[in-house]
Amino acid sequence: MRIVVLVSGSGSNLQAIIDAVAAGKLPAQVVAVGSDVPACGGIERAQRAGIPTFEVPLPRGASAEERTRWNTQLADQVLRHEPELVVSAGFMRILSEQFLQDVAVPVINTHPALLPSFPGAHAVRDALAAGVKITGCTVHQVDAGVDTGPIIAQAAVHVEPNDDVATLHERIKSSERRLLVEVLKAVAEGAVRLHQLPG
């Protein structure tokens, strides 16, 4: 299974995928890694692993027209690598309906909460503020909404009394890495079927 991974930060989820492939635990190939953040940690991890990379920065305060153009440029870069699946792994940008239509393969995303609870960019903070005792992580298919696509798998993480955003997020990320690799393995082996979603 040919995978393009999109990252914005340190790339710990990407590293879990790379390690699983190298260990023979995931029948897949990461054919490219792309980012909106030049020289981020995820890009560096990919380069160390000999994986082709590309960068499509989005200017701060971009207009609607610039965002449309950026989504088109990102789709063009992804399509050059002929993926069967796109993985948004800590990619902090919303992918447009047009992007999903252009790439024409399933896109999956990881999210640090048990969707549909706590969607958006501040899920860990929001879970703590709500006082929940259990949160977790979700792997879901991406649609044109924000964290609204079909849920594929989830893992629960208990909130400890002394947790802050950093400590809780670190435990969630540990579960997230395991869950993402499990889902990708299931997809590659045909145990989970994904579909191209309408925008």
Active-site residue (options: 111, 158, 169, 195): 111
Q: pLDDT at position 61, please?
A: 87
Per-residue pLDDT of the chain (199 residues; tens, 9 = 90+): 999 999 999 999 999 999 999 999 999 999 999 999 999 999 999 999 999 999 999 988 889 999 999 999 999 999 999 999 999 999 999 999 999 999 999 999 999 999 999 999 999 999 999 999 999 999 999 998 889 999 999 999 999 999 999 999 999 999 999 999 999 999 999 999 998 776 5
Residue 28 burial (10 A CB sphere; 0-12, 13-18, 19+): buried
Does the annotation mark 195 as catalytic? no
Cα Rg of the chain (Å, integer): 16
| C-beta of residue 156 within 8 angstroms of C-beta of residue 114 | yes
151 sits in which H/E element: strand 151-158
- Helix, strand or coil, per DSSP, at residue 184: helix
CA–CA gap between residue 169 and residue 36 (Å, rounded):
22
Q: pLDDT at position 199, please?
A: 55
